[in-house]
Amino acid sequence: MTNTKKILVTGGAGFIGSHLCEALVKNPNNQVVSLDNYSTGRKENHILGVEYLEGETRDIGRLIDFTPDIIYHLGEYSRTSESFREPEKTWLFNVEGTFRVLEFCRTRKVPKILYAGSSTKLADGGDGRNQSPYAWSKATNTELIQRYGEWYGLPYVTVYFYNVYGTREIQDGPYATLIGIFKRLRKEGKPLTLVSPGTQYRSFTHVDDIVRGILAAAEKGSGDGYCLGPREMYTIKDVAEFFGGEIEWLPEKPGDRKTVAIDLSKTEEELSWKASIRLEDHIRDFLRDL
Ligand SMILES: NC(=O)c1ccc[n+]([C@@H]2O[C@H](COP(=O)([O-])OP(=O)(O)OC[C@H]3O[C@@H](n4cnc5c(N)ncnc54)[C@H](O)[C@@H]3O)[C@@H](O)[C@H]2O)c1
């Protein structure tokens, strides 16, 4: 008898997906396949031992010829402010893509799907979900997955990420993350560009903590509501000050949430998960090695 587990990671060539793949292939019983359209994913993120398929999640039924034991569904359009510029991509990648992934799960009787939700849904007293095409699509998908659970008995688990940082984060171009941009500017000796008013609150989570949380949720979790973030929140100006140096102010951006909310009760109780890496320590180590 073989214990081989067939695992599909959508978005496996992306930032978080590549770290997840790296953790999954460490177990020799796991057969890991990534489905990625390389919109933001990169071949340099490939991990030895993973099979990489290039394609859209909306074509999953045609591209995946096996029934995975679990799907880690991370392959979506992933940037808030850019989604105003690219609503069609956001719709195709997130709304249509995720619908097709769920239909694949339903028709192939996939035993479990883990969905990478966004904490933007919980920001600004719940209004965060409507503040950008991205946030709306991610929040809507968490509900569609809940409905598939109720209507069709699809076993699912939804985790919520809070501003993830760490190796392989995008540092350049329109899809770069805040920490990625600050690191690059600091390396280049340029002022840190800060979006006004600077008082926007965020929680930041190291990618190693996220991967640990994803694996724990896949193993022990069931249903919606697993927040994977630290209790500490910072304004983005606080973060710039951790990096130090000059600041160059940018105008306000549409869809830029002001506050953040986190309820860790389910995560701590059921997964015994807590963030273990602090942003200040990560930035201090980064500056020391600069
Ligand atoms: N990074 C964060 O702080 C954060 C916060 C909340 C939620 N998330 C979610 O986590 C997931 C991964 O985010 P990330 O930060 O690694 O971003 P990323 O952009 O690096 O990764 C997304 C990956 O999915 C691929 N992809 C996108 N749409 C696809 C599609 N339709 N078909 C196939 N592949 C597709 C991209 O090419 C990329 O490799 C996303 O679903 C994102 O919404 C991330």
Per-residue confidence of the chain (290 residues) as pLDDT tens digits?
568 999 999 999 999 999 999 999 999 999 999 999 999 999 999 999 999 999 999 999 999 999 999 999 999 999 999 999 999 999 999 999 999 999 999 999 999 999 999 999 999 998 999 999 999 999 999 999 999 999 999 999 999 999 999 999 999 999 999 999 999 999 999 999 999 999 999 999 999 999 999 999 999 999 999 999 999 999 999 999 999 999 999 999 888 889 989 999 999 999 999 999 999 999 999 999 98
Task: Determine the residue of 8, 33, 76, 206 to mutate for testing ligand 1's pocket, defined as the one with the most ligand atoms within 8 A of the Cβ atom.
Answer: 76
Residue 60's Cβ-count burial label (10 Å; 0-12, 13-18, 19+) is buried
Residue 249's Cβ-count burial label (10 Å; 0-12, 13-18, 19+) is middle
CA nearest to 15, candidates 170, 202, 236: 170
Domain presence at residue 252 = no
- Which two tokens mark 191? 């002022």
CA distance 39 to 20: 18
Helix axes 279-288, 236-243, angle to 10 degrees: 30
Per-residue model confidence (pLDDT) at position 1 = 57
Domain presence at residue 135 = yes
Domain presence at residue 129 = yes
Per-residue model confidence (pLDDT) at position 255 = 85
Contact 193, 243 (CB under 8 A): no
Per-residue model confidence (pLDDT) at position 257 = 86
For atom 11 of ligand 1, the residue with the nearest CA is 74
Domain presence at residue 251 = no
Structural domain of residue 122, as residue ranges? Answer: 5-166+204-229+261-276
Per-residue model confidence (pLDDT) at position 26 = 98
Regarding the beta carbon of 149 and ligand 1, being less than 6 Å apart is answered no
Per-residue model confidence (pLDDT) at position 33 = 98
Domain presence at residue 185 = no
Query: Could you tell me the distance, in angstroms and rounded to a whole number, from the CA of residue 153 to the centre of ligand 1?
Result: 26
Domain presence at residue 175 = no
Query: How many alpha carbons fall within 13 Å on the CB side of residue 92?
Result: 9
What's the number of domains the chain is made of? 1
Per-residue model confidence (pLDDT) at position 237 = 96
CATH number at residue 73: 3.40.50.720
Per-residue model confidence (pLDDT) at position 25 = 98
Domain presence at residue 191 = no
Domain presence at residue 217 = yes
Contact 202, 236 (CB under 8 A): yes
Regarding the beta carbon of 11 and ligand 1, being less than 6 Å apart is answered yes
Which DSSP symbol is given to 191? Answer: P
Count CB atoms within 10 A of the CB of residue 53.
Answer: 16
